[in-house]
Structure 1
Amino acid sequence: MTTPDRVAVVGAGVSGISAALALHQAGCAVEIVERDDRIGGRIGVAALGDREVLLGGKNIGRGYTRLRALLERLGGTGYEPFGINTSRIVAGKLVSLDSENRTEAMGAIVRMCDWRDLIKLDGIARKVRTTESARFLGSDLARKLGRHDDRPLSAHFHRNTADHFLRPITVRMNGAEPDEAYFGNFAVNMGMLIDRFDQPTTGLSALLARVESLVEIRYRTAVTGITKADGDVLLDLVDANGRPTRTRYDAVAVCTPAHAAAPMLAPLSEPLAGLLRSVRYFPATVAVVHYVHDVFAADVRAIALDDQPCSNAGSYGRATRNLVRYTFSGRRGRLTDPTDTEVLDLVADTERRLRNHLGIAPQSSTAAAIRHWPQAYCGYLPHYGDFLDALTAATAPHTGIALAGDYLLGTSLEACCRSGEAAAATLLSAPLPQGATR
């Protein structure tokens, strides 16, 4: 077993960071290549007035063991309970689902679902709760459920269940409507639903920025192609000034979403690139708005919305209920290159709806942070186990190259972290870290 001396990690999101730290710990000289000007990827660091907010993923499940270990290596953080707290309008009434209160949550699920679907949902939840691997794509449970992927997820449940229970889950986690999602991938969503979530008391971006002290990072540098020659992996790079270079490495971990990895790997293998291009992604737009007074109450911190562009509006934190995060996703919320003015107009419309649902007075806002991702959510594919097998076969001949990202184990921060560790282990030809999943 030979440890590669010089390794490139393409992408500085959670997958790339976890791969880079594992490779650094193994003694490799690691260089991260990042097209953006900051670390964190789709965590989405942004300024809101004089504070920093995250417009992407920010909450840490209690089952996120590998991500919590990674944050600990970067200096650690305290945690405060956050929980999945969301509400729906069912039969004209506000029904709340709070993962911190399992008894009330079960009552809410019963009200949201058709009773004929409860046994099926409970069976999946029990299997996910008792088998950790079932929380990730490619598991035995996912493959078993995936045998029925000739029909979309919505076809496996009754309409009330699809509309009131499934839609908030699939739209929030994958940007996909229930008729665009598939049964074989639902256990991954269930794993996130039954977890309990905390919010770091130290900003995630502050912790992740400490990676800069451990490995070299090339910011504002795009990878335009990956090839191999004489046993080395060659990266064609273009810097912020448009200057092209070609750099040799012993190995490369490509830690980006599938849609970004495909054009990089096309010069190396068109079949591999074709598989990556087949993975579906959906757009999202997020706005975090600061209000003078609280918008939500302690017991109702978020509300999932239908039949409008805003799919979810919720408090930024458990105690910071005057910061509201608006997510525009799902079929009605797929905006195309929206301007800030257009987004704020949609926010104003959502504010009016919230006042009707929550019975609150109009609130004055003081600042807003907005981010649009043309390809924010990985929507997976039907029969995903077959896709993963084909991807493994297409990658196997290209030693010295490993993949990581939201399309391998799932979209959660934990899944991305584990995929990065698995990519590092592949390059090191070493056993996976304890708890990681290949």
Structure 2
Amino acid sequence: MSAPRRVAIIGAGVTGLSAAYHLHRAGAAVRVFERSDRVGGPVHSTRDGDWLVESGPNSIQESSTELTRLIQDIGLDEVRSPAQAAARNRYILRNGRPVAAPSSPPGILTSSLFSLGGKFRLFGEVLKRPRVRRSDVNLADFVRSHFGDDIVDYGLNPFVSGVYAGDPEKLSAKHAFPSLWKMERETGSIIRGQIKAAKQRRASGESAGPPAIISFQDGLGMLPLALAKQLPPDAIELGASVNSLVRSADGWKLVWNRSEQTQTESFDRVLLALPAAALARLSIGSLGECPLAALADIDYPPVSALFLGYRREQVSHPLDGFGLLMPQKEHRQILGVLFSSSLFAGRAPAGHVGLTVMMGGVHRRDLGTASQEQLTKIARAELAAVIGVTGEPVYARLRQWPRAIPQYTLGYERYVKAMEQCENQHSGLLIGGHVRDGISLPNCLSAGAKLARRALA
């Protein structure tokens, strides 16, 4: 019997842990190297008495049977926390007041979110024919060609601010939202493409409706911890900085250090599940080359997540939704606010509510790194104006990400090609994660599973 394949995974975020989990189940000998002192990257939850605060993502869409199966297999099904009924609405600010986004075709007709012209463009979009574009376009122009300006301003713009903290006028349609790009090529109409995708999900036994939004009893941070728990006790090295990767006769030599002590280990495969800046710095080769140096140019705008707790009577809005997003045309200072305690149970003490105010992003980079005092002052003024919050918060906690979310901007193809070229030139070296496979949590989990399959091939 041959020895198990030895695989090094650099990065213990969700992608790296997912890869390690699938490889371990397949019988490979895995080692995970993480520079920080904990696993999970931005996926981290903090329980402070009766308050529960997320440092990064606040929810995950249960978008596939594979994800459902993973949750069951790693023992999280019993602590699965579905979104509450109170979170049914998605609010978008228009003319200074929150308007619930329509959730059905009849709702579009009666909604005040879109103009009459915008509504006509929505229903006329189903007549679009398949289109093969010769070159990539920015996401705003792509959506505008289907639905017009009104949908871009009050549908796409706030959505992109909430997901990417970015600007749809700069993002690549092909790379930021590849599913829409594919729908246009195959069906012409985005609406017909979505109907087709729903039918395909139904035919495969999956729900044709929107994916369930879930978390866990003690927050999303339970996910990376549960993945790590499935690995052997000595599989993960925290506080480990990888200095270089050098090709050897039978695989790869990995040089890493911790507490100024340098160590060397040999592996058959090396998987890179790192942010762009770390990939750009990584020495790969005997001459200290950095073949991924171009990735240093990928934009990661800073984002601040300020969690504020209030007594329920301090907020006049019913908070009957997921949250409230701010279109750029409304000229607000925040990206949006999540109604955290409405979204999931157990996020705030009885008689209180928790709100997560998102600030920063590509349009207000200064607020991604500002002080808590300054951010709290801005947040209080904004919350008072848009959802009727009064008085001072009774609880506050700030988490900032100086490099938060990679922007899949026009021209992103060159970064994808740099990663492909690096893999082609270095057999047994594989790259995946949010810099390549999409930024959502399901994307990152799938990226890890894909890396594991490639490593075993």
CA contact (8 A) 2:280 2:292 kept: yes
Deviation at 1:37, TM superposition (A): 1.6
Task: Measure the CA separation in 2 of the matches of 1:384 and 1:258.
Answer: 12
Deviation at 1:415, TM superposition (A): 0.8
Task: Measure the CA separation in 1 of the matches of 2:120 and 2:239.
Answer: 53
Task: Measure the CA separation in 1 of the matches of 2:89 and 2:9.
Answer: 36
Q: 1:29 to 1:102 in 2, by over 3 A?
A: farther
CA RMSD in angstroms, aligned pairs only: 3.5
Letter in 2 for 1:172: G
Task: Measure the CA separation in 2 of the matches of 1:301 and 1:363.
Answer: 23
Q: How does 1:171-320 map to 2 (within 5 A)?
A: 171-185=161-175, 187-188=177-178, 195-203=210-218, 204-210=220-226, 211-215=228-232, 216-239=235-258, 241-267=259-285, 272-293=291-312, 295=315, 296-305=317-326, 306=328, 307-317=331-341, 318=343, 319=345, 320=347
Q: 1:65 to 1:54 in 2, by over 3 A?
A: farther
Task: Measure the CA separation in 2 of the matches of 1:329 and 1:86.
Answer: 21
Q: Deviations over 1:133-170 (max 9, x none)?
A: xxxxxxxx9xx568242x56357625433332222122
Task: Measure the CA separation in 2 of the matches of 1:55 and 1:85.
Answer: 23
- 2:53 is aligned to 53
CA contact (8 A) 2:304 2:367 kept: no
- 1:134 is aligned to none
- 1:404 is aligned to 432
- 1:80 is aligned to 82
CA contact (8 A) 1:6 1:28 kept: yes
Q: Deviations over 1:65-84 (max 9, x none)?
A: 43333222210223413567
Percent pairwise identity: 21
- 1:153 is aligned to 140
CA contact (8 A) 1:402 1:423 kept: yes
Letter in 2 for 1:153: A
Task: Measure the CA separation in 1 of the matches of 2:301 and 2:134.
Answer: 21
- 2:93 is aligned to 89
Aligned with residue 346 of structure 1, among 362, 375, 386: 375
Q: Which ranges of structure 1 fall in alignment gaps of 5 or more residues?
A: 128-140, 430-438
Deviation at 1:378, TM superposition (A): 1.5
- 2:204 is aligned to none
Q: 1:109 to 1:168 in 2, by over 3 A?
A: farther
Q: Deviations over 1:221-272 (max 9, x none)?
A: 1223222222232222231x23333322222111122222221255578574
- 2:114 is aligned to 111
CA contact (8 A) 1:87 1:302 kept: yes
Q: Which ranges of structure 2 fall in alignment gaps of 5 or more residues?
A: 181-193, 195-208
1:111 partner SS: coil
The number of residues matched between the two structures is 405
Deviates more, 1:289-298 or 1:72-81: 289-298
Task: Measure the CA separation in 2 of the matches of 1:271 and 1:242.
Answer: 22
Structure of higher CA gyration radius: 2
Deviation at 1:327, TM superposition (A): 1.0
Q: 1:116 to 1:247 in 2, by over 3 A?
A: farther
Instruction: Give the TM-score normalised by the residue count of structure 2.
Output: 0.77
Letter in 1 for 2:165: G
Letter in 2 for 1:8: A
Letter in 2 for 1:199: I
- 1:380 is aligned to 408
Instruction: Give the TM-score normalised by the residue count of structure 1.
Output: 0.79
Q: 1:75 to 1:356 in 2, by over 3 A?
A: same
Q: 1:377 to 1:166 in 2, by over 3 A?
A: same
CA contact (8 A) 2:301 2:362 kept: no
Deviation at 1:406, TM superposition (A): 0.6
1:179 partner SS: coil
Task: Measure the CA separation in 2 of the matches of 1:26 and 1:366.
Answer: 49
CA contact (8 A) 2:59 2:213 kept: yes
Task: Measure the CA separation in 1 of the matches of 2:24 and 2:109.
Answer: 45
Q: Is 2:355 the counterpart of 1:324?
A: yes
Letter in 1 for 2:107: E
CA contact (8 A) 1:48 1:368 kept: no
Q: 1:408 to 1:167 in 2, by over 3 A?
A: same
CA contact (8 A) 2:369 2:402 kept: no
- 2:387 is aligned to 358
